[in-house]
Amino acid sequence: MAKTNFVDGNPAEQIEGTIVTAAFLNALNNHRHRGLAEDGDGAIDYAADTGSADAYAIALSPALAAHVTGMPISFKAANANTGAATLNVDGLGAVAVKKKGGVTLVAGDIPVDGIAVVAYDGTCYQLLNPASSSLKQIQSIAASVGSNALSLTYNGGTLDFRNATLAVGAPVTGVDVSTISLTVPSGATLGTVNAIQAMLALVVLYNGGSPALGVVNMGGSVNLDETTLLSTTAISDAADSAAVVYSTNAITNSPFRVVGFINITEATAGAWATAPTLVQGHGGQAMAAMQSLGYGQTWQNVTASRSVNTTYYNTTSRPIMLSVTSSGGSPTLTMELYINGELMQRPSVSGTGVTTQMFVSAIIPSGASYKVAAGGVAYWLELR
């Protein structure tokens, strides 16, 4: 592939032929290792992209007559990719660019002005140096409703997972996850309540190397701190628990990553007709403080908007704290605090001819219900 022109000699006309020296032959033999053509004119496997985002095009010199399996090619991208992409080399036609395992590119795998390195595998060009990784700032997710069903999607990326053996700290790194989806069918409430905002977490389960998408109501008791393993239940129209992770097929004891969450309110739980009000991918500070009590919160007097013997819900994205004081002049004063239907506190005092006071206080998890049963309320404060 060297560019030097050779000529034949013609002794009759006293024309000297090209003299091939050892230095030239060594340079010709080694030119690929130096990355330059034999005469040093330029890189033979590199070109600047002249195409558009997701449709890259390059012209090598000399041009290839056909795609060469295993041949590495580098190009400087004029645009960042926004998703699936193709590469047209020397006018041979657009060929899909994939990551290892045939995984479709996700936005940012090829950055603008970045040097992309690809190699033809006989079917597509494999991107050998994707820029996106498990350290990407925000994961890409999507959620939509239609025909009373909820469609959830993780738009792909590279994730690291903890080891499936809890006693082993070495993670499984660099797992390329293609776009995966999950449909919550009509009738499946996921433990949500009519007309009450719910927060649903999206998780990617390693699933033995075949990643799958799962969903769980944040109002339940599922530990999502990624230090443990999750088991899921196959989703159906009977998926009605806030304490269960659901996926397309049942999965047992899998490492997982939380990739985002949505806030959604439906007039009738299980009839997914109203689109989410918030769709948030995990990353940056989006979920870092989600479970932190007191972060960005203040004590608020909500006495005027609260009543005893009424069930309320913590619809915020983090825990809140409750402090309720009751007073009365009856011989016996009793209060009861319920969280998610469970009796948590029941103080009681007795007194004759005096006004007595007592209070209950507790942390209310995100998505949980709470109720105070008492004769009356003097003060109702919430840290939220």
**CA angle at 294 for the pair 291 and 296, rounded to the nearest 5°:** 90
Asked which of 252-256, 257-261, 348-352, 378-382 is least confident by mean pLDDT, the reply is 348-352
Q: Which residues contact 239 (CB under 8 A, 6 or more apart)?
A: 184, 185, 188, 189, 190, 233, 246
Q: Are 260 and 139 in contact (CB under 8 A)?
A: yes
pLDDT in tens, 206-253: 999 999 999 999 888 788 889 899 999 999 999 999 999 999 999 999
Domain boundaries, the chain: 11-127, 141-281, 299-383
Cis check for the bond before 111: say yes or no (omega within 30 of 0): no
Asked which of 38-52, 100-114, 320-334 is least confident by mean pLDDT, the reply is 38-52
Residue 4's pLDDT is: 61
CA dihedral 245, 250, 255, 259 (to 10 degrees): -50
- What average pLDDT score do residues 30-45 get? 53
Residue 61's pLDDT is: 85
Q: How far apart are CA 31 and CA 43, in angstroms?
A: 9
Task: Specify the DSSP class assigned to residue 107.
Answer: T
The answer to whether residue 341 scores a pLDDT higher than 60 is: yes
Q: Which residues contact 336 (CB under 8 A, 6 or more apart)?
A: 343, 345, 346, 360, 372, 373, 374
Copy the structure tokens of residue 141: 């997710």
pLDDT in tens, 266-302: 999 999 999 999 999 998 777 665 567 776 678 999 9
Pairing, β 245-247 against β 232-234: parallel
- What average pLDDT score do residues 358-370 get? 93
Q: How far apart are CA 90 and CA 36, in angstroms?
A: 18
**CA angle at 378 for the pair 373 and 381, rounded to the nearest 5°:** 80
The answer to whether residue 19 scores a pLDDT higher than 90 is: no
Contacts 24+ apart (CB under 8 A), 58-61: 58/87, 58/88, 58/89, 58/90, 59/90, 59/91, 60/89, 60/90
Would you place residue 78 in the very low, low, confident or very high pLDDT band (cuts 50, 70, 90)?
A: very high
Residue 169's pLDDT is: 93
Residue 311's pLDDT is: 97
Nearest to 3 by CA among 45, 59, 50, 61: 61
Q: What is each CA distance from 101 to 127, 128, 210, in whole angstroms?
A: 11, 11, 12
Mean pLDDT over each residue of the chain, to the nearest integer: 88
Q: How far apart are CA 43 and CA 37, in angstroms?
A: 6
The answer to whether residue 33 scores a pLDDT higher than 60 is: no
The answer to whether residue 36 scores a pLDDT higher than 60 is: no
- What average pLDDT score do residues 322-333 get? 82
Copy the structure tokens of residue 145: 């409703």
CB count, 10 Å around CB of 289? 13
Residue 291's pLDDT is: 60
Residue 3's pLDDT is: 55
Kindly indicate whether the domain formed by 299-383 is annotated with CATH number 1.10.101.10. Answer: no
- What average pLDDT score do residues 333-343 get? 94
Helices (H), 113-161: none
- What average pLDDT score do residues 132-139 get? 64
The answer to whether residue 351 scores a pLDDT higher than 80 is: no
Nearest to 119 by CA among 87, 144, 94, 151: 87
| Beta-strand runs (E) in 235-292 | 245-247, 256-264, 278-281
